[in-house]
Amino acid sequence: MNEALSLLAKPLGETLLMIAASTLIAGILGGLVGIFLFALSNDRFAGKHRGARFAKRLADRAINMLRSFPYIILMVLVLPLSRLIVGTSLGTLAAIVPLSVAAIPFLARIVESALSEVDSGVIDAAISCAASKTRILFAILIPEALPSLVSGLTLTMISLLGYSAMAGVIGGGGLGDLAIRYGYQRFRGDVMAVAVVTIIILVELIQFSGTAIARSIRAKR
Amino acid sequence: MFHAGRPEEAANQALIAHPPYQAPLAGDRTMPSGAVFQDIPVSASIFPRTALRLDAISKAFGSHTVLDEISLNVPKGQIHGIIGKSGAGKTTLIRIAGLLDKPDRGSVFFEGINAPVHELRGQELLEARRKVGFIFQSFNLFASRTAGENIAFPLEAAGWPSAKIRARVQELLDLVGLADKADRPSSRLSGGEKQRVAIARALANHPSILLSDEATSALDPETTRSVLDLIRNLRDMLGLTVVMVTHQMEVVRRICDSVSVIASGSIVEEGLVSEIFAHPRSAAAKAFLKEGQHE
């Protein structure tokens, strides 16, 4: 058992790195895409322009397509992209690229729907305060949607944790890889158990913190 | 401080006597940019200045005509009611006047702006919006902000420095009687307090016009009266021009000087509140008065 635990340190670090980096990248890029999707479809922003409606339809198709790929296929498909960005298609850093690519459309949808849920009366009020669209977006809509955005980010991180289990395929390591290589392929039930329990603890931790943050934001309102 | 007081009786008479303004080119809808607010053929010595003018406003949603060539002149300092049943088009009308929606045809003019305001864009549109405050039935406060921060938002948007914002917010909170509620999250205010904060927010940029869309409909009778009295006091104190859309006869009776009765997208009767109460002519006005008696 002690040996199983000692095997844990490196994969745990790899998993944490993969989750943190891909959450950060997807948080920024997916957030921007989500804001874009919202602005294109909302009548108060660009939604009334024919060009915007067309762009929204294109973006919808692209996002749905990206989200349809089984993750393992997506991972192989973005290998060239990993090589371009991190210089290699193997290893933990390389695994961050497909994770981000998978999370961006997911998070974009979450941001789009969180912003769309803000009451249109609140947008009317912000407009009547003579604020610019950008100001309304960043000073009103995002703060108003913050609890939903936090919940959505939590959901994204947990999905990423699941996807990261497949990083072993491209040598990315991580807890899922540990469970497969030791637990499954070498019949080391103890290592499998340690890896799986660690993943469960991580999921619980992420969910607990996400819920707590969202709740504390709501409690101050 | 400028003190408008209640408009003189003569001014009230003028509202009725004065026929709806017809722009020289109103017929062809393409008002030249040269058409200016000062073109209103009203002699300032006889008639009060018009603060808000709607000119042959039409609006349809799909094939359903909501507003059919509605024109309205609201003299400066007046509290004007627009009463009608739900679906009569009054909310659409006031949203167009408040630059929240655009008319299909027709023009909106504000005092002091030499162009139809509904055609403005960019910075000019924002400047026009600072001339008019808007309050809503559902208050529409920002839940992510405290009472004070709600009031600060239009000032932030206008680029005020934060020290000035703080002073102005306190002044506005005093004005609406909520001096001690600055740091209260907006969701923890009562309905009446929420509408007071919304009024303070609407008045932050020193607008000359206040538009109210059923602002008291969600409030109990006592709170309704106190909010109405606040609006009247603010009009007296600040020289505001107020337009109140409502379906409650109580609102018209309590604070309006003049009223337009609106039914299926048209104004069916218009005049001094006292006259319409005494001699209603339209069926819609008679119906409202009858309803009012049961209150």
Across residues A78-89, what is the average pLDDT? 94
Q: Using CB atoms, which residue from B136, B153, B187 is nearest to A129?
A: B153
Cβ distance of A143 and B187 shorter than 8 Å: no
Q: What is the DSSP letter of B99?
A: T
All structural domains of chain A with their residue ranges: 2-219
| pLDDT on residue A1 | 65
| pLDDT on residue B293 | 63
Q: How far apart are CA A107 and CA B275, in angstroms?
A: 61
Q: How many angstroms away from the CA of B139 is the closest CA of chain A?
A: 8
Phi and psi dihedrals of B66, rounded to 5?
-95, -40
Instruction: List the single range of A26-30, A80-84, B285-289 with lowest mean pLDDT.
Output: B285-289
Q: Which residue has the higher pLDDT, A213 or B2?
A: A213
DSSP letters, B15-74, are HHHSPPP--TTGGGS---TT--GGGS---TTTSPPEEEEEEEEEEEETTEEEEEEEEEEE
The answer for B 46-105 residues in CB contact with A (under 8 A) is 95, 98-100
Q: Which residues contact B118 (CB under 8 A, 6 or more apart)?
A: B96, B99, B102, B103, B107, B108
| pLDDT on residue B18 | 43
Q: Measured between CB atoms, does B138 come within 8 Å of chain A?
A: yes
Relative to beta strand B105-110, strand B79-83 is unpaired
Q: What is the pLDDT of residues A88-113, one digit of tens each?
A: 999 999 999 999 999 999 999 999 99
Q: How many angstroms away from the CA of B100 is the closest CA of chain A?
A: 7
Cβ distance of A221 and B144 shorter than 8 Å: yes
Tell me the mean pLDDT per 10 residues along chain B, length 295. 43 42 40 46 57 96 93 96 91 96 95 91 94 97 97 97 97 96 95 97 97 96 96 96 94 95 93 92 89 61
| pLDDT on residue B17 | 41
Q: How far apart are CA A45 and CA A52, in angstroms?
A: 10
Q: How far apart are CA B11 and CA A211, in angstroms?
A: 61
| Alpha carbon B224 to its chain's center | 17
| pLDDT on residue B31 | 41
Residue B204 with chain A: CB contacts under 8 Å: 129
Q: How many angstroms away from the CA of B54 is the closest CA of chain A?
A: 18
Q: What is the pLDDT of residues A144-173, one digit of tens each?
A: 999 999 999 999 999 999 999 999 889 999
All structural domains of chain B with their residue ranges: 9-293
Beta sheet of B50-61, edge-to-edge order: B64-75, B50-61, B105-110
Residue B100 with chain A: CB contacts under 8 Å: 124, 127-128
The greatest distance separating any two alpha carbons of chain B, rounded to the nearest whole angstrom, comes to 54
Identify the CATH number of the domain defined by range A2-219: 1.10.3720.10
Q: How many angstroms away from the CA of A215 is the closest CA of chain B?
A: 13
Q: How far apart are CA B210 and CA A8, in angstroms?
A: 66
| pLDDT on residue B47 | 56
Q: How many angstroms away from the CA of A106 is the closest CA of chain B?
A: 25
Q: Which residues contact A142 (CB under 8 A, 6 or more apart)?
A: A115, A149
Cβ distance of A130 and B141 shorter than 8 Å: no
Q: Using CB atoms, which residue from A124, A131, A139 is nearest to B140?
A: A124
Torsion, Cα A164 A170 A172 A178, to 10 degrees, reads 80
The answer for B 151-210 residues in CB contact with A (under 8 A) is 153-154, 156-158, 185-188, 198, 201-202, 204-205
Cβ distance of A126 and B153 shorter than 8 Å: yes
Name which of B135, B144, B150, B160 to mutate to probe chain A: the one with the most chain A Cβ atoms within 10 A of its Cβ.
Answer: B144
Residues of chain A whose C-beta is under 8 A from some C-beta in B?
A: 119, 121-122, 124-132, 135, 139-140, 143-144, 146, 220-221
Cβ distance of A128 and B98 shorter than 8 Å: yes
Are the CB atoms for A166 and A72 separated by under 8 Å? yes
Evaluate whether the domain defined by B9-293 bears CATH number 3.40.50.300. yes
Cβ distance of A129 and B204 shorter than 8 Å: yes
Phi and psi dihedrals of A134, rounded to 5?
-60, -45
Residue A122 with chain B: CB contacts under 8 Å: 140-143
Q: Measured between CB atoms, does B124 come within 8 Å of chain A?
A: no
| pLDDT on residue B1 | 42
Percent of chain A scored above 70 by pLDDT? 100
Cβ distance of B138 and A121 shorter than 8 Å: yes
Q: Which residues contact A116 (CB under 8 A, 6 or more apart)?
A: A38, A41, A42
Cβ distance of B205 and A130 shorter than 8 Å: yes
| Cβ-based contacts under 8 A for chains A and B | 76
